[in-house]
Structure 1
Amino acid sequence: MLSGCSSRHAPAPVVTLSEARTFKQFKELGNATEYQVEKGDTLFSIAWYSGNDYKDLARINKLSAPYAIYPGQVLKLRESNKKSKKVVTKRSGQTSKIKANQPVDPPKKQAYGESKTAQKSTTVTKKNTQRMTASDFPAQVTEWTWPTRGKVVGQFSLSEQGNKGIDIANSSGTPILASAAGKVVYTGNALRGFGNLIIIKHTDAYLTAYAHNRKILVKEQDWVRPGQHIAEMGSSGTSQTMLHFEIRYKGKSVDPLRFLPNRP
């Protein structure tokens, strides 16, 4: 059997994020509801490519640490609509309880960049991030900020083996900042070539990744605000001091420069 995401009591298995070709269904993962495990897959790598928190996948599929999975196994990537409807019916008339039991990845999706009214609502919701629950993910990201200062030395590429994000170079210790409000769903160094890595979930569709850190300043399950200091720039997993930054929408890599504001 293949080991999935490790518990915190044993070293995590090493996988390579850039090797998307190991996933025959990679392009469909963002919209898929199930995935058939192939050789070399881990629960964490499947979660990353499909835009999920690995702990949610473990819960949905009733997997316990160390999250062992095997080739041919079919994993659910989303909560079932049937289950969600039952919760709403049972809790009808009790708004607060419905909210507390909503899935992290609800079936209904909304696109990035909607009305100002929705943006204001999200801002209010995010005031006390440390007390938020999984159901508090906003419908869209209302603000993107640059994750660090420095020179962009690597551009996004659509080619199969191209750069899936951007690389920003600066001196060791330069602050790494959360690019948007969200929850830290992974911290560690289990991905070959990415060194000390942080992954933050912002909505049911958007994730960001921050690689090659010298030091990580947040923990898994922490809620962070835009511009919050989350790490220090380093060269872990690479020969150059830099931040490798990715944005993924429904599991698919997108060009961060399309989302980040113009620099002054």
Structure 2
Amino acid sequence: MSRFNLILCIFICSVILTACSSNHVPAPVVQLNTQKDYRDINRGTLKAKNYIVKKGDTLYSIAFQAGKDFRELAHLNNIPSPYSIYPGQQLTLVASKNRQAKKSSKTTGQTSKNPANQSVDPQKKEAYGGHYVKEKLTPDSFPKTVKKWVWPTYGRLVGKFSLSEVGNKGIDISNKRGAIIKAAADGKVVYTGKALRGYGNLIIIKHTDAYLSAYAHNDALLVKEQQWVSAGQQIARMGSDDTGQVILHFEIRYRGKSVDPLRYLPKR
């Protein structure tokens, strides 16, 4: 091979190698999940120390939005069963320092060994068999335990529970508009309405002194407040959230705190 042909061959090879290397530039890295879910942004809990009751509010809905046990609010505000409130009434949501000091003075002084960040979701044995001893109020006619839990609707699970501060406080199930929503357990409907921002047309059912369940973004409600329902009974029809996605947002609250519904619903 002549010197000219050798140089030409080297030049052509270098051009080919350069072209090949330019085709293998790594794809740009896209960071996912950088935006908070809009449902969690809209679903902020009450942070104020006091709250003025609005038309359509119930003690259960206020406690639900504040992430507290309704009996705690009843105790703080001296509200006896059946926990009636009225528009314009001011409710205390956070105990005063004097009240907290009195409470702490009655303790034994022992320090709890439980970690501060322990999950609020208790083991089923404790949750189902537990009883509330902190507040001594007149109890409603509710069972001490949940007999059984059932799935509130059929469909695809599109959102799971998260313990993070801005995480999902329940699960989201997708189906077609008008799909039947069922009560997840026996109980009494303690709230129906649209007063809680981010939940749309909402139903809250009280099952025991410790348990509530919530059903959000309903298209039509089939039950009324103070109505007793059975597990599996139709209570609503599925609607859409603020973005138009047809879903049921379902929560279970244990003593006012959000717990993972998948720990209670039967496996499927």
Distance change (3 Å), C-alpha of 1:206 and 1:172: same
Shift in Å, 1:238: 4.2
Q: Secondary structure at the match of 2:173?
A: strand
Partner of 2:87: 66
Q: How does 1:182-197 map to 2 (within 5 A)?
A: 182-197=187-202
- Quick check: 2:60–2:191 contact (8 Å CA) kept in 1? no
Unaligned runs of 5+ in 1: 1-15, 25-35, 76-109, 115-133
CA RMSD of superposed structures (Å): 3.6
Shift in Å, 1:178: 0.2
Unaligned runs of 5+ in 2: 1-40, 97-124, 130-138
Partner of 2:63: 47
Q: How does 1:166-177 map to 2 (within 5 A)?
A: 166-177=171-182
Partner of 1:151: 156
Which residue among 237, 240, 251 is the counterpart of 1:246? 251
1:112 aligns with 2:132: no
Shift in Å, 1:69: 1.2
Is the radius of gyration larger for structure 1 or structure 2?
Answer: 2
Q: Which amino acid aligns with 1:69?
A: Q
- Quick check: 2:52–2:88 contact (8 Å CA) kept in 1? no
Shift in Å, 1:194: 1.0
Q: Secondary structure at the match of 1:257?
A: helix
Aligned length: 185
Q: Secondary structure at the match of 2:157?
A: strand
Q: TM-score, normalized by length of structure 2?
A: 0.59
CA distance in 2, matches of 1:171, 1:241: 6
Which residue among 143, 147, 154 is the counterpart of 1:142? 147
Distance change (3 Å), C-alpha of 1:160 and 1:52: same
- Quick check: 2:61–2:191 contact (8 Å CA) kept in 1? no
Shift in Å, 1:257: 0.3
Q: TM-score, normalized by length of structure 1?
A: 0.60
CA distance in 2, matches of 1:140, 1:233: 28
Shift in Å, 1:205: 0.5
Distance change (3 Å), C-alpha of 1:63 and 1:184: closer
Shift in Å, 1:37: 2.3
- The list of structure 1 runs, each at least 4 consecutive aligned residues, that deviate by more than 3 angstroms after superposition, is 38-46, 53-59, 61-64, 70-75, 110-114
Partner of 1:210: 215
